[in-house]
Structure 1
Amino acid sequence: MVKQVFNGPRIPPTTGVTCMTFAHLTMATRDVAATETFLATTLGWKPLSRPGNIDMKGAWLEMGPGQQIHLLEVADFEPSAHEAEFGRHFAIFFTGSEFPQLKERLQEKGAELIAPLRETPFERFFFRDPNGYVFEVIDQQGYLENSE
């Protein structure tokens, strides 16, 4: 595998196969404004303007270059019982040296920190957001240095 400095989606060497990159994911929430504030203030995701052709409360945020999360208000939303390390979760890269500050922000805003169940050669941790979603935060540099 080709090692590269991570600055966006990882593109494999040319194989003749069209490569797809991540565009956006959509999260349901009972409170769009609170979720948008949580993600912006803890993870630093930037609010974006959203299309005017959606007839429900929502918010768009930029997670990274060309990557978005779309929040949609669903009044009866309930998180999955399968939100876990070995279940459904969202994995994101973050600068490992900033983990202490990130963990502090997350806890201040109501997130529950969760220790990983399995060891890896790079630092990572999990958290449950106020909606009940589970996120995995991976030390970007450590991951790249230890992946082959």
Structure 2
Amino acid sequence: MTDADNRSDTRPEVRGVDHVSLMVRDARQARDFYTEVLGLAALPRPDLGFPGAWLSLGGGQALHLLELPNPDPREGRPEHGGRDRHVALRVAETAPFAERLEARGMRFTRSRSGRDALFFRDLDGNAVELVGTG
């Protein structure tokens, strides 16, 4: 008998990701970066008592940018974002994003697994993975 066989119909289940939050130094600058580089659209955001931005990831999912002091150091982080805390976003293919990052002089690394994925850090050192779904 498996764990799935022992589950009752009333057991709660996770159904997906609603939003992911990243801490940033300047919410307006971070919002511009994510809208220009990733093409994300801004969403309405209530006044939460501190600056921030909400961006659509599609499918009812969002990226929340929080302008708050970040306890994580920017220096000394692994060069490859896959070896650090990161957000992984699905894209059709990574090539157009690699071109945008290169045009901005931003470094990125490719996945070491051989799949179509790349890792970069945003303006605040947050690691982001883009996974090509082809």
TM-score by length of 2: 0.77
Q: Alpha-carbon deviations, 1:84-139, whole Å to 9, x = none? A: 3122111111112xx332112123345321133x223x311111222111111111
Structure with larger Rg: 2
Q: CA deviation at 1:20?
A: 2.3
Match of 1:92 in 2: 89
Task: Pick the aligned partner of 2:34 from 23, 35, 39.
Answer: 39
Cα pair 1:38 1:109 within 8 Å, conserved: no
- Which structure 2 segments of 5+ residues have no match? 1-6
Match of 1:125 in 2: 118
Count of aligned residue pairs for this structure pair: 122
* % identical equivalent positions: 29
SS in 2 for 1:126: strand
1-side partners of 2:72 and 2:28: how far apart? 17
Match of 1:48 in 2: 43
2-side partners of 1:132 and 1:66: how far apart? 26
Match of 2:21 in 1: 26
SS in 2 for 1:22: coil
Mapping for residues 6-21 of structure 1, pairs under 5 Å: 16=9, 18-21=13-16
Q: 1:76 to 1:127 in 2, by over 3 A?
A: closer
Task: Pick the aligned partner of 1:68 from 62, 86, 89.
Answer: 62
TM-score by length of 1: 0.71
Structure 2 counterpart of 1:29, one-letter code:
V
SS in 1 for 2:83: coil
2-side partners of 1:129 and 1:110: how far apart? 12
Task: Pick the aligned partner of 1:57 from 41, 48, 51.
Answer: 51
Structure 1 counterpart of 2:44, one-letter code:
S
What is the CA RMSD across the aligned residues, in angstroms?
Answer: 2.2
1-side partners of 2:57 and 2:105: how far apart? 20
